[in-house]
Structures are given as C-alpha cells and as structure tokens.
Amino acid sequence: MRSSSSAFFFFSAAAGTSAWYARMADFRACSNRAFINSTQKRPRIIAAHTIQNIAVRLYRLIISLNADALKRVSSFRSCSEYDTIWFRRFQNMINVLFVTPVTEDRKQEFENMDGFSFVFKAAADVTEDDVKEADAILGNLPLSLIEKAPNLKWIQLNSAGANTYKDIRSDIILTNASGAYGEAISEHMLGCVLMVLKNLARYLEMQKSHDWENLGSVNTLSITKVLSVGMGDIGTSFAKKMNALGAEVCGVRRSIHDKPDYVKELYTMEDLDRILPEFDVVALSLPETEETVHLFDAKKLSLMKEGSILVNVGRGSAIVTEDLIDAAKTGKFEGVCLDVTEQEPLPKNSPLWNIDRVYITPHISGRFNAAVTYDRVLSIFKENLEHFRDGETMINVVDKRLGY
C-alpha cells in the first residue's frame, strides 16, 4: 500500500511539475512578444538557450517515466502532441525548413545549433503543410509553395541568382549564396578560354578520327585582352585569375569608382558599344535584370572583334539566342562557350548544338559539383541563421528592386 501511495505521490508531483513548465511556456511565449524586432518582425532569442535546454531535458525525463500516469493525473496531452505543440513554444524555437541537399554529418551540425527546430526535406517532396509551419526556408522552392507560407520571415537561397524571388512578400527577408560560386565558376571560364585559345576541342575531335595534324598558330594569355562583363563574385574571381596569368583585363560594372589593381580599366554598360571591338575575350557573368535581359543582341555581337571568344556563365537571357545563332554561323567567333542558355534545358533541335566552335555545358559550372562551393553555401547558411536568431544584420541580403 505504501509503495502504491509513494508512486501516486511521485507521479502527482511530476504532473504538477509538467503543468508548471507548461504555464511557464505560456508566460515565456507571451513575454517574448515584447522582444519583437521592428525591422524583421520576429522574436529575438535571448541568451538563455543552455538553461532552457537543461530544463526541457529534465522535464522530458519526467515525462518519459510514465506518460500514461501523467496523462491520467493531469489530463495532459500525449508526449508526441506535447513535442509538436508545447515543446517548441517553451523553447521559442525558430522553425526552419531545410530543402538544400545536406549530408548526415553536416545535418548534425545544424541540429546542434541552439534556438532552431529543423525539418530536412528534398525540395521535390515539400508539401503545403511543410511550408505553413516554416519561419525560415533554406534553399530554393517554387513560388507557388512560398505563397502558402503565412509565417515565413526569411528565405536563404542556395543560389547566387535571386531574380525569380524578387516579387515575394515585402516583409520576407531574401538572402542569397553570393560568394560561394566564384572560385568554381571562374575556373570553368578559364578552362573554356584556354580550350579555345589552344585549339584543344578541335584536337580532341581529330583524335576520334585518328588524325595527326598540326592546326597551326595559337594565342597566349599574355597578348590577350579580356573584358569581364559583370564584376560580382564570379566576374571578379575570373578577372583575378586572368590577370595573374598575364592577360590584360578590363571590367564592366555599375560603378567605375574604386578600381581594383587586377583590372586595367573599369567601364559601365553605356560604354559597351564603344569598347567591344577591342577585346579578344568577352566573358558574361551577369544577373538577370531589366538592364541585362537581351543585352547582347545582333548589334553588340556584330561589334565584337573577329575571331574573338564569347563566354556566358551568368544568365542565358543576357544573349538573344537567334542573334547568336546567326552570328556564330558566319564563323565570326573563334569560340562561343555557353554554360547557360535562354531556354534550359536547351532544346534538342536547337541549331546551337551543331554550330562549329560553339561549346555547350548544361549549366554545371556552379551547383554543388565542387566541394568548396558546397562548404561555402552551408557556411553562409550557418552565419545567417545565427544573425537571424540574434536579431543581427544578415549577409547577402538581396535588393528586391534590383534582383541581386
């Protein structure tokens, strides 16, 4: 009899403790409303994560001893219901929907961060119910799903390009992964230029037919004039590499102030018609904006130097496809290297596939094919998660008016 009374007393005390924690959760949820960040409109998490974690773990230990007894004594919800409703409120968790591919070890790094409740899902598997609970989304989802996310306060893209998302709700913070792709994509650009300059693609074709023939003279970078159109992370990385290898490099960007040492001259878009005939290599790494769509039309392509090289790794929309087809068919270019096209995938019946000296890769210069790119994207995620949680200024915030 004594043992049963003791058990009843213990579980009654446990139930009282659980009810106290639930009330404290309500109190904390209410009091946190006073800590709303006026610019980002979300709760700020104060520096009590460790204490909270200990308290919650103790509470969950009590719950696990006898959930059924607690339910009978205190009329409490089941443990699973508690986890999804009260536990998050007690912790003041930020609900994060993580739709970027992530390895198990990296997933653990994120789950160990204080103040967050993560849901990891492939983007293709995300449902409307998933986004309804999200305070933040890490990765790129269709706009049709984002529109169904009433609690959403922040989207962190895994891409540098953000133009698709520029019309999302004004109260949603939009950040991108600019700075993660420059090294990998600029190396791809460098490889394209060297492939054309040294006739490597043509020699590979000759190998297939077992032809042993010298194709004659080639150029070197030391006598090559390069124009990097777009001087963001990618264009800047490319300019640095070309300069280091001896090329004369100029850049095109919105502002010509504060010229870096690795470029000889800076120009604006308004200068393009005047300067295009001077350059042996024209490399595009532009975002998609009203200013850049169809920037390179028949006129600009005609102004380019005979025997020049055109590289595009930014957005396919920067070049008018039909105009490029017409210009390339004339043999004007020594090489055209496209990692992006106006329509993707490029239709199988596109003439671009069969034009001599047009080289196409299927938008693979970036992505996560390089480990360093993947690591940098996840580092940006972690840094911005901490800033978001602590109410600090975030990095890579996109200007929605400009689209980058």
Q: Which of 89, 202, 357, 363 is catalytic?
A: 363
Q: Is 386 a catalytic residue?
A: no
Tell me which amino acid residue 102 is. Answer: V
Q: How many residues does the chain have?
A: 404
Degrees (nearest 5) of the Cα angle 257, 225, 305?
110
Residue appearing with tokens 């975002």:
287
Q: Is 315 a catalytic residue?
A: yes
3-state SS assignment for residue 228: strand
| Distance (Å, whole) CA 139 – CA 119 | 12
Q: Is 109 a catalytic residue?
A: no
Angle between helices 182-197 and 371-390 (to 10 degrees): 150
Q: Which of 315, 342, 376, 389 is catalytic?
A: 315
| Distance (Å, whole) CA 194 – CA 181 | 20
Q: What is the DSSP letter of 33?
A: G
365-371 own/partner pairs: CB under 8 Å, 24+ apart: 365/184, 365/185, 365/188, 365/189, 365/313, 365/339, 366/159, 366/160, 366/181, 366/184, 366/185, 366/313, 368/101, 369/184, 370/183, 370/184
| Distance (Å, whole) CA 225 – CA 305 | 11
Could you tell me whether strands 333-338 and 94-98 are parallel, antiparallel, or unpaired per DSSP bridges? unpaired
| Distance (Å, whole) CA 213 – CA 152 | 62
Query: What is the separation of C-alpha 229 from the centre of its chain, rounded to a whole number of angstroms?
Result: 21
3-state SS assignment for residue 7: helix
Q: Which of 147, 278, 322, 344 is catalytic?
A: 344
Q: Which residues are catalytic?
A: 315, 344, 363
